[in-house]
Structure 1
Amino acid sequence: MNNDRVPRPWTAICRLDDIVPNTGVCALVNGEQLAIFHVNHGDATPAVYAIENFDPGSQAAVLSRGLIGSLGERIVVASPIYKHHFDLRTGECVETPSYSVSAFAARVEDGQVWVAA
């Protein structure tokens, strides 16, 4: 899990409208695959999250294709292979913390999705 607080440059990914609500897409940023998620909480403000796309449990780059849900207060994505849940805010793997992935700051500005990675 990426815990360093080094400022990172913001990279434009795509238009928010290019990501179907409550799904994810994969983006290649600086040679690394990131899973970008558009989460609609039912209010007017959509949220975006970014984590590594690589699932350590299955050894495959598949997290962007997982199912979004919640476990208590946590917003998570379930890996499509072994169903481990990854917290979209922190990258922590709920079932196996040693499988945690890096999380990156993400925002929407003027309809554009940006990620600091």
Structure 2
Amino acid sequence: MHRDIQTDNWIAVCNLDEIVPNTGVCALLNQQQVAVFHVDDGNPRVFAIDNYDPNSEASVLSRGLVGNLGERIVVASPIYKQHFDLQTGECLEAPEHSVGIYPARIDGGKVWVGL
């Protein structure tokens, strides 16, 4: 997990180059585990969702596989392989098990997550 530096309601999680493209890391923000993903398909972007997978009841989403299902950018949980939309937090196979999302941005080469 990465240390955080808080500025207003945004927390600097790490440098963008510390997250391998198309993977995620776990950050502890105000005692909450957040999965932060660096997606780069020629246009680098970051996304942040809850790290807790309600299907497996484990904090593992940051370790999932990032990919696309149609137009959706998703992470597949490493345990039961349910897909979570990185923009909405929706669990595609079980919408009742969707997760929370956080605003995320890249600024000054750093990844920032809003609280």
Larger RCO (alpha carbons 8 Å, 6+ apart): 1
Match of 1:66 in 2: 64
Q: CA deviation at 1:106?
A: 0.2
Specify the SS of the correspondent of 2:103: strand
Question: Structure 2 CA distance, aligned partners of 1:79 and 1:102?
Answer: 15
Kindly state the Cα deviation for residue 28 of structure 1 after the two structures are TM-superposed.
0.1
Matched residue, 1:114: 112
- Partners of 2:52 and 2:80 lie apart in 1 by 13
- List gaps (5 residues or longer) in structure 2: 1-7
Return the TM-score normalized by structure 2: 0.92
Higher strand share: 2
Task: Write the distance in 2 (CA, Å) between the matches of 1:98 and 1:9.
Answer: 28
Letter in 1 for 2:95: P
In the TM superposition, what is the alpha-carbon distance from 1:105 to its structure 2 partner? 0.5
Question: What's the Cα RMSD here?
Answer: 0.9
- Which blocks of at least 5 consecutive residues in structure 1 are unaligned? 1-7
Hey, what does 1:38 align to over in structure 2? 38
CA deviation map 1:3-30 (0-9, x unaligned): xxxxx81111000010000100000000
User: 1 CA distance for matches of 2:16 and 2:68?
Assistant: 21
Q: Tell me, yes or no, if structure 1 residue 15 matches structure 2 residue 15.
A: yes
